[in-house]
Amino acid sequence: MGRGGTLEVASCEVLRTWLLQNNLDLPEEDVDDDVACCGFDGFPDEGSFFLGIRAMEKLYANRSVPGGFDPPDQPDHPFWRNEWIPFLSDQDGWSGKFIDARDGRVGRWFVGEVTVTGEYASMARYFDSVAETLTRIAEGQSPVCEVAEGRLVWS
């Protein structure tokens, strides 16, 4: 493996180590085997979860396919590509957001619908949008969410 490949593997290991140290996964005793994904519940919206590393790995393993994309006859418009790393999902793993490992863009999937690639140019842009949402909530400009007793409450 060349130098670039070695750096890439090292970068992945550093990221994985950081994610495990700052893990969003539920404690083992709270994990429900019937739930496809679990993580930090209810943010940035009700019903979605920022995933911990183990939940990412579990969902990725469930979505990845031999050949790299699904369906195999539509490589330019797949429902799923193995280069997509999920970081946010619903409990069933039917929808969520992913980062495209090829170019860093953030997209979203929903099983049975067209996958949207490049919804955000990067993770930084995605988190900027989350910060903007939190600002609107804090200012009382979000009709679906409010702060009650220091917690976000979704209506």
Cα–chain center distance at 99: 7
Question: pLDDT > 90: what percent of the chain?
Answer: 14
Per-residue pLDDT tens for 70-93? 888 888 888 899 999 998 888 778
DSSP code for 72: T
DSSP code for 21: H
List 124's β-bridge partners, or say none: none
- Kindly report the pTM of this predicted structure: 0.71
Angle, in degrees to the nearest 10, between helices 53-63 and 3-21: 120
Strand pairing report for 145-148 and 151-154? antiparallel
Do residues 65 and 82 make contact, with C-beta atoms less than 8 angstroms apart?
Answer: yes
In whole angstroms, what is the distance from residue 88 CA to residue 52 CA? 9
In whole angstroms, what is the distance from residue 51 CA to residue 91 CA? 10
DSSP, collapsed to helix, strand or coil, labels residue 77 as: coil
Per-residue pLDDT tens for 12-60? 666 666 666 666 666 666 666 655 555 544 555 666 778 877 788 888 9
